[in-house]
Structure 1
Amino acid sequence: METRQLGGDGPALSVIGLGCNNFGMKLDRDASAAVINAALEAGITHLDTAEMYGGGKSEEFIGATLGARRDEVVLATKFLPRPKDEPYSPGALRRRIIEGCEGSLRRLRTDRIDLYYQHYPDVEAPAEEALQALDELVQQGTILHIASSNVTAAQVETAAGIAESALLTRFCGTQIEWNLLSRAVELDVVPSAHANKVGIVPYFPLASGMLTGKYRRGQEYPRGSRFDAMSYFADKVVSEENFARVEALTAFAQERGHTILELAVAWLAAQDGVASVITGATTPEQVRANAAAASWRLTAEELAAVP
């Protein structure tokens, strides 16, 4: 599978990444291992997790499954923010980062994290505190690269400016929600990332399942599906407008011999600055379908014609 560098100085990531948020929640250890092994067989070497996924079990399952194959992958994880009820005091965010890193290293059974994300910005703490703590970990060698997640354009610019002026390790990438039904980031975050040489890693490429084609206008949600089990996701994306867009996108893909899922992933992979598209999976079959989507390389004409 194709690999791409994240930003100007980040790691090389497989263009399709495996989102590991289902591990420890929907999937037990054996089912998670089956998904991880299918990803490796498909050429996916970018595994994305977080200490909050499954209450730490996602990281545990990854570490246990990889074993001697750890060096074959780029491990990306994220630290939790400070507890909401904890008043900020100088050094509190640094302690949270150090603690989070130590826990992730232990659960992942590794001596370093290839790509470490600040999962959510800490709006009460100075941005310098996070960058200083992360730089300290980079200097120790326990973290190789750092990145942001769920940030605004202003936060991308602020972090880049602080890193440059204070000579600290910079965020090489940012992870954002971006898909064919959620494109607001194209107005500000994406241009800011480009301007600051920050690579982009989109998550929720299938709009929580809306872009898989399994949900139909006027029909009940399939039993056991995400929309059936968690109304939060359905409430976020289900609308008459989005059903109409899905129908148009489905027709566009079918006219070219592809599925809407393949279009959703391939469209993101074709966007400037995107290094890897995070795709979740609960079965090896879903992993293989996500990996296959990367083989469709949209032409400039196709990109311009996407509804």
Structure 2
Amino acid sequence: MNFGGSGSPVWDAVGALGPKDTDRMVGMALDNGVNLIDTADVYAGGESEDLLGQVLGTRRREVVLATKTTARSGPGPNDVGQSRLHVMRSLEDSLRRLRTDHIDLYQIHNLDPLTPFEESLAALDDAVRQGKIRYVGASNLTAWQTMKALGVSERRGWARFSSLQSHYSLAARDIEREIVPLVADQRIGLLVWAPLVAGLLTGKFGREGTTDSGARRATLAWPPVDMERAYDVIDVLREVAARHEAPVARVALAWVLAQPGVTSAIVGAKRPEQLEDSLAAVDLELTAQDLADLDQASALPPEYPGWIQLPNPERFPQPA
């Protein structure tokens, strides 16, 4: 998402890296063991895919290459959504920009309320059978929508979603209510986007303001979170980071990676030092006390029917 789009206010805020910087960041990631790269046809109007295709070159086989379709790609009525027409057009455009003959993980980017899952999944299944897609996935769906799609695929014998990409962080734990149990039950991967909430959990932000006025979050308050709860989390993140003599961002990422069901965390970086810090999170092992403190600061309030379904020995005695 950081690649391309220079000259656009939105993409300039995100990163707008050009070919040279994109090449450096991708090369650094691959050299340090990263093996999943996620993009989308809508990022920078397709320029993200184009730059990624340029810089991967002969290293294409080293990565699981993931991209997405659904968002508007043109002015016409068929330039958006998950109709068979748009899915097929988007796929061919992505293959061309990425300079590859197949996409490892092709994901629907959001819900299309106008197109039934039967049509979208049939088109995706055809592409799998043609060898243009290895696996299909989804992003930003609710648990019931994901389960409905899985049911359609099972009933028809089509390729099912192998993964769900969702927003998850210490400041946004909403998916723990329904989505995390779903991916565990259905044994599909969980790809986390915005684990640092676009820089909010990097240590640069707090109740006192920000130490980096050029940070993305300083100009683009997205994704939205409850800021008061986020500040409480940041206070505890700083305490845990001090115990480990580690940056705040590294602790926030380590927490995400330690959560049940998480397959991978998608991070974006504009500068090499940011990427280096993010990659170091895999080696940071949080203690039980660290996890307990962070959980207490960020825990979701109970909601119905979750609170009534909690284990209750008086209603459902456990076997001896």
Between 250-259 and 208-217, the greater mean CA deviation after superposition:
250-259
- Higher relative contact order (Cα pairs below 8 Å, separated by 6+ residues): 1
Tell me which residue corresponds to 1:76: 66
Over 3 Å counting, the alpha-carbon distance change for 1:63 and 1:132 in structure 2 is same
Tell me which residue corresponds to 2:196: 206
Q: Which amino acid aligns with 2:261?
A: G
Residue of structure 2 aligned with 1:44, choices 31, 34, 46: 34
The offset of 1:166, in angstroms, is: 0.7
Residue of structure 2 aligned with 1:188, choices 160, 163, 178: 178
Between 248-257 and 264-273, the greater mean CA deviation after superposition:
248-257
Tell me which residue corresponds to 1:96: 86
**Contact 2:3/2:18, CA 8 A, preserved across alignment:** yes
Q: Secondary structure of 1:275's match? A: strand
The offset of 1:262, in angstroms, is: 1.3
Tell me which residue corresponds to 1:218: 208
Over 3 Å counting, the alpha-carbon distance change for 1:84 and 1:150 in structure 2 is farther
The offset of 1:47, in angstroms, is: 0.6
In structure 2, runs of 5+ residues without a counterpart are 6-15, 298-320
Over 3 Å counting, the alpha-carbon distance change for 1:241 and 1:304 in structure 2 is closer
Q: Distance in 1 between matches of 2:136 and 2:173?
A: 25
Q: Which amino acid aligns with 1:64?
A: Q
Q: Secondary structure of 1:224's match? A: coil
Q: Distance in 1 between matches of 2:268 and 2:89?
A: 27
Q: Which amino acid aligns with 2:130?
A: Q
Tell me which residue corresponds to 2:270: 282
Q: Which amino acid aligns with 1:73?
A: V
**Contact 2:206/2:234, CA 8 A, preserved across alignment:** no
Q: Say whether 1:227 aligns with 2:220.
A: no
What's the Cα RMSD here? Answer: 2.2
Residue of structure 1 aligned with 2:134, choices 128, 144, 165: 144
Q: Distance in 2 between matches of 1:92 and 1:298?
A: 41
Residue of structure 2 aligned with 1:242, choices 206, 230, 234: 230
Q: Say whether 1:251 aligns with 2:251.
A: no
Q: Say whether 1:296 aligns with 2:284.
A: yes
Aligned residues, how many? 283
Matches for 1:256-275 after TM superposition, within 5 Å: 256-275=244-263
Tell me which residue corresponds to 2:47: 57
Q: Say whether 1:130 aligns with 2:110.
A: no
Over 3 Å counting, the alpha-carbon distance change for 1:171 and 1:302 in structure 2 is same
| Residues 121-180 of structure 1, C-alpha deviations (whole Å, 9 max, x = no match) | 211111111111100000000000110000001011101111111100000000000000
The offset of 1:189, in angstroms, is: 1.4
Q: Distance in 2 between matches of 1:92 and 1:49?
A: 17
Over 3 Å counting, the alpha-carbon distance change for 1:56 and 1:86 in structure 2 is closer
The offset of 1:220, in angstroms, is: 4.9
The offset of 1:97, in angstroms, is: 0.6
Q: Distance in 1 between matches of 2:289 and 2:208?
A: 33
The offset of 1:101, in angstroms, is: 0.5
**TM-score, normalised with respect to structure 2:** 0.83
The offset of 1:284, in angstroms, is: 1.7
Tell me which residue corresponds to 1:5: none
The offset of 1:73, in angstroms, is: 1.0
Over 3 Å counting, the alpha-carbon distance change for 1:145 and 1:222 in structure 2 is same
Between 119-128 and 176-185, the greater mean CA deviation after superposition:
119-128
**Contact 1:227/1:233, CA 8 A, preserved across alignment:** yes
Q: Distance in 1 between matches of 2:276 and 2:51?
A: 20
Q: Which amino acid aligns with 2:31?
A: E
The offset of 1:252, in angstroms, is: 1.9
Tell me which residue corresponds to 2:143: 153
Q: Distance in 1 between matches of 2:114 and 2:99?
A: 32
Tell me which residue corresponds to 1:18: none
Q: Percent identity?
A: 39
Q: Which amino acid aligns with 1:288?
A: E
- Which of these two proteins has the greater Rg computed from alpha carbons? 2
Tell me which residue corresponds to 2:56: 66
Q: Distance in 1 between matches of 2:57 and 2:230?
A: 43
The offset of 1:92, in angstroms, is: 6.9
**Contact 2:236/2:293, CA 8 A, preserved across alignment:** no
| Residues 29-71 of structure 1, C-alpha deviations (whole Å, 9 max, x = no match) | 1111111111111111111100111111111111111111111
Q: Secondary structure of 1:22's match? A: coil
Q: Secondary structure of 1:276's match? A: strand
Tell me which residue corresponds to 1:22: 2
The offset of 1:244, in angstroms, is: 2.4
Over 3 Å counting, the alpha-carbon distance change for 1:82 and 1:281 in structure 2 is closer
Tell me which residue corresponds to 1:115: 105
